[in-house]
Amino acid sequence: MHSNEYFMKLALQQAQQAYEHDEVPVGAVIVMQNQVIAKGYNQTELLHDVTAHAEIIALTAAFQFLNAKYLPDATLFVTIEPCLMCAGALFWSKIGHIVFGATDPKHGYSSQCKHRPFHPKTTLMSGVLADDSAQLMKHFFKSKRKNTTNL
Amino acid sequence: MHSNEYFMKLALQQAQQAYEHDEVPVGAVIVMQNQVIAKGYNQTELLHDVTAHAEIIALTAAFQFLNAKYLPDATLFVTIEPCLMCAGALFWSKIGHIVFGATDPKHGYSSQCKHRPFHPKTTLMSGVLADDSAQLMKHFFKSKRKNTTNL
């Protein structure tokens, strides 16, 4: 069995892909029976579509792969705390487990929801390789600000 | 200028399409300058994808149509109060106006969010043709229960 850190590293690789495409660097993988069945990275700029978050792309890929709309036996690894939209999508998916890296005090679901928004059976873990995720985000926004200043 | 009721009737036609395809009957249209630029109805069963709510489908269609990821000059008409996922998507879209029909005490965003989750500039109206939306939902779930009982 691979560790949570192993799969979070794969999610971080997805986030790195986003970074290299000048997208806010968030990445996700979905795992079942110790295997990655779906992955995604943020593509809101490329697709001109604010719904194209890493989690949504990975979820839709997982639904297609399994030909099923519920994922009770799957685990989502995502580098950053899901936003309200992604938390809502995860609720509907009835996903078995959610593992995320860094918290997102500004847009994370936990600062906005009255109660835990996931399906009652969904388990939740946070803080896995959180520093790596947070660093990637920090570098991204720092380079963005630098570019803006140079304009 | 067409009225809110006029566009909500178009959203209800979308919801009716969902009903006829045995999907939870929710429909949406997105309007700019008095014209429909995008529409959608719930297709979660057909696509095996719980993210395929009417609002998400309509938003993605609008982004493609405009080749833009923000919709400050657009209005979304949706038959039912958006869920957490759709409210989050609407936040990110910076949509100008949201008009919805019936409230959804079980899954609507308002029962789950600490604060109004939309962009500060987004205006909100509810209750437009609410009875029609609610009736359509009621009929749908009644017929579902009947079918289940007959199994």
**Interface contact A51-B89, CB threshold 8 A:** yes
- Give the pLDDT confidence score for residue B147 in this predicted structure: 76
- Give the pLDDT confidence score for residue B151 in this predicted structure: 57
pLDDT in tens, A79-122: 999 999 999 999 999 999 999 999 999 999 999 999 999 999 99
| Three-class secondary structure of residue A113 per DSSP | strand
Which of A44, A83, A89 is facing B51, going by the closest CB pair? A89
User: Cβ–Cβ contacts within 10 Å for residue B79, how many?
Assistant: 31
Q: What is the DSSP string of A63-92?
A: HHHHT-S--TT-EEEEEE--BHHHHHHHHH
Q: Which residues of B touch A54 (CB under 8 A)?
A: none
**Interface contact B92-A47, CB threshold 8 A:** no
Q: CA of A52: which chain B residue's CA is closest?
A: B60
Task: Say if residue B150 is exposed, middle or buried (CB neighbours under 10 Å; 0-12, 13-18, 19+).
Answer: exposed
* pLDDT of B148 higher than 90: no
Q: What is the DSSP string of B120-134?
A: TT-EEEE-TTHHHHH
d(CA B115, CA B111): 10
- Give the pLDDT confidence score for residue A150 in this predicted structure: 64
Q: pLDDT tier at B146 (50, 70, 90 boundaries)?
A: confident
Query: What single-letter amino acid sits at B33?
Result: Q
Q: Rounded to two decimals, what is the model's pTM?
A: 0.95
pLDDT in tens, A17-45: 999 999 999 999 999 999 999 999 999 99
- Retrieve residue B56's tokens: 């998400």
**Active-site residue identified among A20, A23, A45, A55:** A55
Angle between helices A84-93 and B84-93 (to 10 degrees): 150
d(CA B2, CA B58): 20
- Give the pLDDT confidence score for residue A148 in this predicted structure: 74
pLDDT in tens, B13-71: 999 999 999 999 999 999 999 999 999 999 999 999 999 999 999 999 999 999 999 99
Q: How far is CA B59 from the centre of its chain?
A: 10
- Give the pLDDT confidence score for residue A145 in this predicted structure: 84
d(CA B75, CA A149): 34
